[in-house]
Amino acid sequence: MATIRDVAKLAGVSVATISRYLNKTGYVNVDTEHKIKKAIETLKYEPSSVARGLAGKQTKTIALILPDISNPFFPELARAVEDVASTYGYTVIFGNSDDQGVKERTYIELLKKKYIDGIIFASNTLNRDDAVQMNQSGIPIVCLDRGPDNHSCSVVRSKNREGAQLAVQHLLAAGCRKIAHIYGPMDLITAQERMKGYEDAVKSLPWFSPSLMVSGNFQINGGMKATEQLLHTHPDIDGIFAGNDLMAVGALKALHRMQILVPQQVKVCGFDGIQMAEITEPELTTVAQPIYEMGATVSRLLIKKIEGNLDTNEIYELDVTLIPRRSTQKGVHL
């Protein structure tokens, strides 16, 4: 497949001249035009969308950088981003950063070379300097879920702190008298906000102790280990609020292994609203994030920025919904 460089070499002109000719973005004299036309015909050259992008035209492509594609929360988010982007004629390419700053910066450099029109970061390691640098390089960015709280870019996320309060109040209303919290990685603003919401709801109650809060790393295995640790140090726990559904699934598994009945002996509530929560045994009560609405909103925001219809940075916090299921049902007897 001939490239723009092959055409430039055969025509005896620079790549920039070929690009000017192809995209009609500057003067090319008649003699040079003839040479270029002849070289294109000889090589059967077809400009790629990236070549058009080189001349500053849009490639109608956006990138979505996710932290952990193995967590079902993110594919549901990606689905919404892609559905909305496609209605505006944009293609979406995905990357998995593992919430590692180095991988994210690698993506940023790669995406700059690929002439991406804009980037959505569902990331926690992006800082103000990154966001300023991206904006100065002409690549609009917006953040999703875990973005920086410093107005260096627009962020779309859920009302995490209020959602955590909702979860604990639901467990208290279901009759729980001692509730533990399994929290996510403390470098993530979503985990920090949910822990604050748990503390808001329990810190003034007589049974509260910081030892009732244990890390689960937003993973199933982390939820299992945290639950084993909690029931070892506090055998009288009768409620667990997990900061995401995967850790809540881990808690159900650990309680089953310890032959502790849910909801009869311990009630469990998660956070996210992933589809897996509907098929656990018992089905998992959760605080559902508006996953599809989050993805759709951030996609529309980025496209508005790309097309020059939005130049402010706002934080959009979307409402969450408690979905009661059997894992917190009241009055179920042994």
Helix (H, G, I), strand (E, B) or coil at 222: helix
CB 302 within 8 A of CB 142: yes
Q: Which of residues 210-229 bind ligand RIB (CB under 6 A)?
A: 218
State the nearest-atom distance from the C-beta of 81 to ligand RIB, in Å. Answer: 14
| Among 244, 286, 297, 299, contact with ligand RIB (rule: CB under 6 A) | 244
> Under the criterion CB under 6 A, does residue 145 sit at the interface with ligand RIB?
yes
CB 8 within 8 A of CB 17: yes
Q: How far is CA 216 from CA 28, 89, 213, 250, in A?
A: 63, 40, 10, 9
Torsion, Cα 80 81 86 89, to 10 degrees, reads 160
> Under the criterion CB under 6 A, does residue 21 sit at the interface with ligand RIB?
no
> Under the criterion CB under 6 A, does residue 71 sit at the interface with ligand RIB?
yes
Decide whether 159 or 325 has the Cβ nearer to ligand RIB.
Answer: 159
Q: How far is CA 130 from CA 61, 136, 178, in A?
A: 20, 10, 43
One-letter amino acid identity for 114? K
> Under the criterion CB under 6 A, does residue 192 sit at the interface with ligand RIB?
no
Decide whether 20 or 225 has the Cβ nearer to ligand RIB.
Answer: 225
> Under the criterion CB under 6 A, does residue 272 sit at the interface with ligand RIB?
yes
State the nearest-atom distance from the C-beta of 205 to ligand RIB, in Å. Answer: 25
Decide whether 45 or 73 has the Cβ nearer to ligand RIB.
Answer: 73
CA 66 distance to own-chain centroid:
5
Q: Which of residues 72-91 bind ligand RIB (CB under 6 A)?
A: 73
Contacts to ligand RIB by CB under 6 A: 71, 73, 145-146, 188, 190, 218, 244, 246, 271-272
